[in-house]
């Protein structure tokens, strides 16, 4: 991966964006600020469950 990132930054960006898009479609990650920061859905769910238990 580091080779692709170093040698072809455009291909790296495309691959990264496609990967993130697939994670979003599968609802494995979510963003609350239109894609600047992503969170694992499972982490959000765990946090909510912890807070509800308190």
Q: How far apart are CA 20 and CA 26, in angstroms?
A: 10
Instruction: Enumerate residues 6+ apart whose C-beta is below 8 A from 11.
Output: 4
What pLDDT is stored for residue 39 in this prediction?
A: 98
What pLDDT is stored for residue 1 in this prediction?
A: 65
Instruction: Write the DSSP assignment of 1-54 as a string of letters.
Output: -HHHHHH-HHHHHHHHHHHHHHHHHTTSEE-SSTTSS-EEHHHHHHHHHHHHH-
What pLDDT is stored for residue 20 in this prediction?
A: 96
Q: What's the full length of the chain, in residues?
A: 54
Find out whether 29 and 38 touch, Cβ atoms under 8 Å: yes
- Summarize pLDDT for 1-41 with one digit per residue, the tens: 677 788 899 989 999 999 999 999 999 999 999 999 999 99
Q: Is this prediction's pTM over 0.85? A: no
């Amino acid at each position: 991966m580091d080779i692709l990132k170093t040698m072809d930054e455009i291909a790296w960006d495309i691959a990264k964006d496609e990967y993130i898009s697939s994670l979003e479609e599968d609802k494995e990650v979510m963003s609350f600020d239109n894609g600047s920061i992503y969170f694992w859905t499972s982490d959000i769910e765990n946090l909510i469950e912890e807070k509800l238990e308190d």
